[in-house]
Chains A and B, each alone.
Chain A
C-alpha cells in the first residue's frame, strides 16, 4: 500500500544553520508532494509543494528536492530561526486528487 515515512522523528539544529528534513515515499505513481508545518496547538500550514515533473522548487528560505529514482523528498530551510520550531509533515497525493497520504512528522528543534 501507499505510505510516507520520515527518516528522523526529531531534528535539532543550531539557530542560523540550515535544516534538512527528509522523507521517503513508497508509491512511485505519486505525482504531487507537499510539505506542511504544524506548530503546537495549531493546524497544519502549507510550506511548499512540488510535482513529479520537477526535481527542485524554491520558496522563501525553503527548498524542496525530489529524487524520483530513490523515492526521496527533502525540505531544506535556510538560516533556521526560532520561529521554524514545529513538526514538519510531508505528504503525497494518493490515488485520487483528494486524498493525501501523510507521514508521521519530524519535530524540528532550534538550539539557541
Chain B
C-alpha cells in the first residue's frame, strides 16, 4: 500500500515556465488536497477536491490550477512559474474528515 505518492520529488523551473505536479493515492479517498509549505511556516491550502471531476479554491489559489479527472489522481499545474512559488508542495487525501494522509512532498525552486 503506497498511500499518497507525489512526482516529481524535486524540480527547478525558470520564471515563466510551466509544469504539472502529480499526486496519486491508492486508498480510495474521496477528498484530495494540495498544500504549500514555506520555510518556518505551516501548510497553506491551495486547492482541494471533494470528488472526481470537482475542484475548489483554498486559501492561496492564485497562480495554480488543478484537475481531478480520476478519483485516484490530483494534478497541480503552474502555468507561468514565479519565484514566489518556490516552496515545498504537499498533496494529501482523506475520507472526508480532516485526518489527511500526506505525500512526501515536492521541492520546487523557481529561478
Q: Mark B31-66, 1 if CB is under 8 A from A, else 0.
A: 101000000111111001010000010110000000
**Interface size in chain B (residues, C-beta < 8 A):** 26
B102 at the interface (CB under 8 A from A): yes
CB distance B42 to A102 under 8 Å? yes
A53 at the interface (CB under 8 A from B): no
Instruction: Report the minimal beta-carbon distance from A33 to chain B, rounded to whole angstroms.
Output: 9
CB distance B40 to A43 under 8 Å? no
Highest count of chain B CB atoms <10 Å: which of A89, A100, A102, A103: A100
B98 at the interface (CB under 8 A from A): yes
CB distance A100 to B40 under 8 Å? no
Expressed in whole angstroms, the Cα–Cα distance for A45 and B43 within the complex equals 13
Q: Mark B74-85, 1 if CB is under 8 A from A, else 0.
A: 000000000000
CB distance A102 to B102 under 8 Å? no
CB distance A44 to B90 under 8 Å? yes
Expressed in whole angstroms, the Cα–Cα distance for A93 and B31 within the complex equals 15
**Interface size in chain A (residues, C-beta < 8 A):** 21
A103, closest chain B residue (CB):
B42
CB distance A43 to B102 under 8 Å? yes
CB distance B31 to A42 under 8 Å? no
Known: A42-B105, A43-B104, A98-B31. A32 touches B43 (CB 8 A): no
The residues of B with any CB-CB pair to A shorter than 8 Å are: 4, 31, 33, 40-45, 48, 50, 56, 58-59, 90, 92, 96-105
The residues of A with any CB-CB pair to B shorter than 8 Å are: 4, 32, 34, 41-46, 49, 89, 91, 93, 97-100, 102-105
